[in-house]
Amino acid sequence: MSGTALFAYALALGLAAATPGPGVVALVARAIGSGFAPAMGFVAGLIVGDVFYLLMAVFGLSFLADLLGSLFTVVRWAGAAYLAYLAWRLWRAAGDPARIGQEAGRGVVESAVSGLAVTLGNPKTIVFYLALLPAIVDLASIGAADVPLLVLVTAVVLGVVMTPYAALASRARFWLARPGTQRRLHRGAALVMAGAAIWTVGRAA
């Protein structure tokens, strides 16, 4: 695999990741609602989901995506349901300062699972790896030694693009630390999370 092809892939991935979608929206809401560490767990889940679809494309498993179309629909609905649950929990926490603190302590693993669910059910991610990627990179030219490099580039690019979203959104929580403002932030995060759930199931794969 040439350096030019690798650069083209990294550039296309970076642009696609930076484009607002359910992943970015849910990440921002997670950062506002729970803080930076859980938000980075969410980013880790996003990366794992992207790597899954990357490997499917590289190893010629796009036919599997077609065969399992109904399964991806189930995954998308499950991811949306989980986002809706998080939105409900954030909204309830907004009315109780003690519960706001509890939400801030939610674990990284839970956030990673939600990030993975969002990515696996995200039509934008599916289209990028299973439809656009073959037009960007000659998949036939990818050797076994190229796969770890592609995985590394994927992780680095997504980390570079998504971390600022998480950092800025989580920092807003501490800039606006008054209880009334925290309630508004959590309710805003809940609405954003609910919007991401609706977006996830409203887009056709």
Residue 122's pLDDT is what?
75
Interaxial angle between packed helices 146-175 and 22-34, expressed in degrees from 0 to 180 and rounded to the nearest 10 = 50
Q: Which two tokens stand for residue 76?
A: 């998308």
- The string of DSSP letters for 104-150 reads HT--HHHHHHHHHHHHHT-HHHHHIIIIIHHHHS-GGG--TTHHHHH
For 159-180, how does the pLDDT look when each residue is reduced to its tens digit (9 = 90+)?
999 999 888 888 776 665 455 5
pTM score: 0.70
Tell me which residues of the chain have a pLDDT lower than 70: 61-76, 78-79, 82-83, 86, 89-90, 93-106, 173-186, 188-190, 192-193, 196-197, 199-205
Angle subtended at Cα 117 by Cα 19 and Cα 94, rounded to the nearest 5 degrees: 80
